[in-house]
A and B are shown apart, each in its own frame.
Chain A
């Protein structure tokens, strides 16, 4: 039996983590990022080290994303993705789900 904590659930007591941050990205017609606006500075993408795609929850609100682990000029590496439903770009650190093995590059 779980005890009632006596506290109101919901507002303020839970916050999501690792929300996608909108990003301005210049990409090729094939959807490969070539430059982006990172913290107010235009940065060229020197290399795309890894790309992978996630398709999920097609039965309700569809999620379809293509992630890229990119290296920017200056050496910084960040993970960005393109929402394939809305075509918008976001930055989001990616952690592979527990127990799912390694992610697959495409």
Chain B
């Protein structure tokens, strides 16, 4: 088994229920209060059963589901929790790919052997550890291909979750389910392990909704009477391709256990940290600005970002009292120009009211990218610029002995004769 998929169904709802267990079993809608002009970001299966869908207005959601609990979307908390899941999996696997919040694929090849355990025991332990650490209802699928692991994990989540939205009839699904021996007997949740070489057999009983194609194609497949991946796999490749094009070909391959997708681990963002102790504690802004300039120059000379620009600067000031003041600057255009960065930062530094003397300054450069072309406006508003332009044109005319710069003017815009409509008039007085 090479690949694993960890999936937390309705991640935002799961988080809310973990923090407030009284919400268990009640319809939950996330997005804000119904009197706000906002949309549903997530909803529980109980709310979905009444017709609530992601993207509809909260008012409409209230109309459909009177007894729903409406909760605000705590984006920073959910992002932190999603990152935590990835960080926890990084302890186990060298390749972890975050697909969406609460949905992670990771390389599973050789992990059990490395820890000297059987695969059943290893993934059982991993499953229990992740559940305990996150406190969330996770599903774990392990298979030979990315799609198979993904499909069994999301199907397992839907099977386990209550509510009529589950597309998988329990009885049929349970026959295809292979759990670890221990939890199979006790009917406890656990990882779903697909033995090597049996991806196709496992996939055969899964509903077509696990295929990563458009909902319209799911609908059309059902209209053709195709409900399970096994039925899709039995069709001829050319028939699927003829009917659905590239998506059909892909669906056929996936249904037959043919998937060449790889885990693409997320790359850590490059950040450059520079720190400096001030020679003496100070409450004046000028030494702090000077120190900031030195740190920026030093940071921009870092070999990893030399010649590149940055979008974001995090600035920190350590105080004698032990407190720290931080400010975030986001540049409208990427820059590697220290005076320009200081121009943005200086006014905010000078406005600081320090409770005690500053002892250290630190900067973090992030949002590293290449600088795009920056071109000044040729015709900026302002009489001074206009005068400079007129003088430059006059100089050019003098040198050439006649008008060299023209502007298009309307002569007889009403004329039916094209050459009478417009003309070129010499630029300048």
Q: Which residues of A contact B (CB under 8 A)?
A: 5-7, 12-20, 54, 56, 63, 92-95, 97-100
Contacts and interface: CB of A to CB of B under 8 A. Distances in A.
B422 interface: yes
A67 to B, nearest CB: 9
B424 A56 contact: no
Given A7-B429, A12-B426, A17 B417 contact: no
B403 A18 contact: no
Interface in B408-429: 408, 413-419, 421-426, 428-429
B402 interface: yes
B419 A17 contact: yes
B423 A14 contact: yes
Given A6-B429, A7-B429, A15-B406, A56 B422 contact: no
Given A14-B423, A17-B421, A94-B418, 16 more contacts: A7-B428, A12-B426, A13-B426, A14-B424, A15-B406, A15-B423, A15-B424, A17-B419, A18-B421, A18-B422, A19-B419, A54-B416, A63-B417, A98-B414, A98-B421, A99-B414
A18 B403 CA distance: 19
A97 B426 CA distance: 24
**4 residue pairs, one from A and one from B, having the closest CB atoms:** A15-B424, A98-B413, A13-B426, A17-B422
B418 A18 contact: yes
Contact of B419 (A6, A12, A20): A20
A56 B82 CA distance: 75
A83 to B, nearest CB: 12
B421 A14 contact: no
Contacts of A7: 426, 428-429
Interface string B251-271: 000000000000000000000
A16 B419 contact: yes
A43 B12 CA distance: 66
B429 A5 contact: yes
16 contacts: A12-B426, A15-B406, A15-B424, A16-B424, A17-B408, A17-B421, A17-B424, A18-B419, A18-B422, A20-B419, A56-B417, A63-B417, A97-B413, A97-B416, A98-B413, A99-B414
Contacts of A63: 417
Contacts of A54: 416-417
A88 B84 CA distance: 80
A97 to B, nearest CB: 5
Nearest to A79: B418
B402 to A, nearest CB: 5
A94 B418 CA distance: 6
B contact residues, range? 10 to 19
B421 A97 contact: yes
Contacts of A20: 419
A95 B428 CA distance: 27
A54 B417 CA distance: 8
A56 B418 CA distance: 12
A26 B408 CA distance: 34
A5 to B, nearest CB: 5
B414 A93 contact: no
A55 to B, nearest CB: 9
Given A12-B426, A17-B424, A92 B402 contact: no
Contacts of A18: 418-419, 421-422
B414 to A, nearest CB: 5
B419 A92 contact: yes
Nearest to A13: B426
A92 B429 CA distance: 31
B322 to A, nearest CB: 71
A56 B426 contact: no
A95 B418 contact: yes
A54 to B, nearest CB: 5
A89 B375 CA distance: 44
Contacts of A13: 403, 425-426
B414 A16 contact: no
B254 to A, nearest CB: 42
B413 A14 contact: no
A95 B414 CA distance: 11
A14 B414 contact: no
B398 to A, nearest CB: 13
B5 to A, nearest CB: 51
Of B418, B422, B423, B424, the most chain A CB neighbours within 10 A belong to: B418
